[in-house]
Structure 1
């Protein structure tokens, strides 16, 4: 018995994304199927209340090896979540929801905020963000040129 299933579009193992709700037009992300949630390099993370809503204010260096270009972002705080990083260390991270844009595709994802200064990519797009949306071609990069 054969099932007809909608063919999902392919993405490469790294892609340029936009995060329009955060004011980030372009950021290089590693597509990481080993990571459950997506994460964004953030620093000077500050939480505060506005109109009875918990908010988080933070800064982002959107480009690798560039610590001068800085974007200040503000988003509602969804929650704090315990995350185990690639080194096996557990940390509590703030979580926000952001719109992500890849080519003509746009959808909302959860993002954990953490310092990724020493990492090769400023952002990881985890498997929850791509589940039922894309297939990953691990032999290709930048299938969607932003």
Structure 2
């Protein structure tokens, strides 16, 4: 098992996101990604979600991506509010390890971390030391080669 701190830098290469800050939250089942805007469309008869995100400081490096919709489910946030969210699959890279995870798109505006990494994404591979932070450092600003 690889140890993570309560916050870490992560990459989502399949979405073209080279690096962003994520809060590791073992109290949350699913992972959530902040998006500035999202839109739905159909491609080849299958539902797809497109979205825009600013992974770092606002105005520095806007990323637009799209992914097939895996599911749509109700999620209860930390304030007890239930909302319907779109779920997609994405490649997560953290601590030098790549794995496919499921995450939902959310409005996390005003939150300190644009991504929340929930327990289903870390199960079986990572442990969390809540006394430590950013153990594995920042990934490079740019992804090597085209997105996977």
Question: What's the TM-score once normalised by structure 2's chain length?
Answer: 0.90
Describe the SS at the equivalent of 1:45: strand
Q: 1:37 aligns with which of 30, 48, 59?
A: 30
Which position in structure 2 is the counterpart of 1:88? 80
Q: How many equivalent residue pairs?
A: 137
**Which sections of structure 2, spanning at least 5 residues, go unmatched?**
140-148
Which position in structure 2 is the counterpart of 1:59? 52
Larger of the two Rg values belongs to structure: 1
1:79 CA displacement: 1.2
1:67 CA displacement: 2.2
Separation (CA, whole Å) in 1 of partners of 2:69 and 2:77:
20
Which position in structure 1 is the counterpart of 2:10? 17
Separation (CA, whole Å) in 2 of partners of 1:21 and 1:9:
22
**Which sections of structure 1, spanning at least 5 residues, go unmatched?**
1-7
5 Å matches for 1:59-138? 59-63=52-56, 66-69=57-60, 70-138=62-130
Provide the alpha-carbon RMSD of the alignment: 0.8
1:101 CA displacement: 0.3
Separation (CA, whole Å) in 1 of partners of 2:55 and 2:96:
21
Question: What's the TM-score once normalised by structure 1's chain length?
Answer: 0.91
Which position in structure 1 is the counterpart of 2:145? none
1:9 CA displacement: 1.5
Separation (CA, whole Å) in 2 of partners of 1:118 and 1:137:
25
Describe the SS at the equivalent of 1:36: coil
Describe the SS at the equivalent of 1:121: coil
Which position in structure 2 is the counterpart of 1:28? 21
Separation (CA, whole Å) in 1 of partners of 2:70 and 2:104:
10
1:54 CA displacement: 0.8
1:103 CA displacement: 2.8
Runs of 4+ in structure 1 off by over 2 angstroms are none
